[in-house]
Structure 1
């Protein structure tokens, strides 16, 4: 989920129907270089994820459904 004060995030969920049962070729794991600890963070970075390439690489065809929404963290509740 979004970290505080980052702004609006766009989320896209795509649903594919597999033609047969098989393993997926996941995108490579990228380590987060902005980790504050001495060891790199294992956060998977999905910036500029190419869903079309993923579908082709995994022989998924066209999506059968899609969901798109924007999300933003709410500010703290105000006292009344």
Structure 2
């Protein structure tokens, strides 16, 4: 798991999130994808109870690099109040942003996590939409009383000159 446990989560989720990018490129645990392949928002699904609400997070715990993660974590995508696994029913807090690892920073892990919610939540931090650095998936889950991650997946990516770095 490339250190995903304990860098971002405390245990391995019991099921897999299926993540598919355009062109049919599917995320497989820890495989490397290019920033170009993950530029657009993917389709995502997981085993879910259609009557329950879920939160989906995508984070990079390796910013600016795995050896010096001073901005751990970067919030790449955050959607709450998803009914079942139908993301279109959820509220997007942070718009999707694909991988944009800094030059010479090595491989970064991009982790997808799903948490079951105890009920509808109202996110009271307006800065989440603009300030992506120093996000904590653990603290977010604790604050909103989310379950431990029930599903997960991740890929790795590194610098690619064809995709500009955006801060």
Q: Classify the TM-score, shorter chain.
A: 0.5 to 0.7
Q: Tell me which protein shows more strand as a share of its residues.
A: 2
Aligned to 1:14: 113
Gapped regions of structure 2 (runs ≥ 5): 1-98, 163-167
Q: Which of 1 and 2 has greater Rg?
A: 1
What is the TM-score normalised by the length of structure 1? 0.55
Gapped regions of structure 1 (runs ≥ 5): 31-41
Does the CA contact (< 8 Å) of 2:101 and 2:108 recur in 1? no
Report deviation, 1:55: 0.6
Aligned to 1:29: 127
- How many pairs does the alignment contain? 63
Does the CA contact (< 8 Å) of 1:25 and 1:58 recur in 2? no
What is the TM-score normalised by the length of structure 2? 0.30
Does the CA contact (< 8 Å) of 1:2 and 1:9 recur in 2? no
Of structures 1 and 2, the one with the larger relative CO (CA 8 A, separation 6+) is: 1
- Root-mean-square deviation (CA), in Å? 2.9
* Structure 1 ranges of 4+ moved more than 3 A: 73-76
Report deviation, 1:22: 2.1
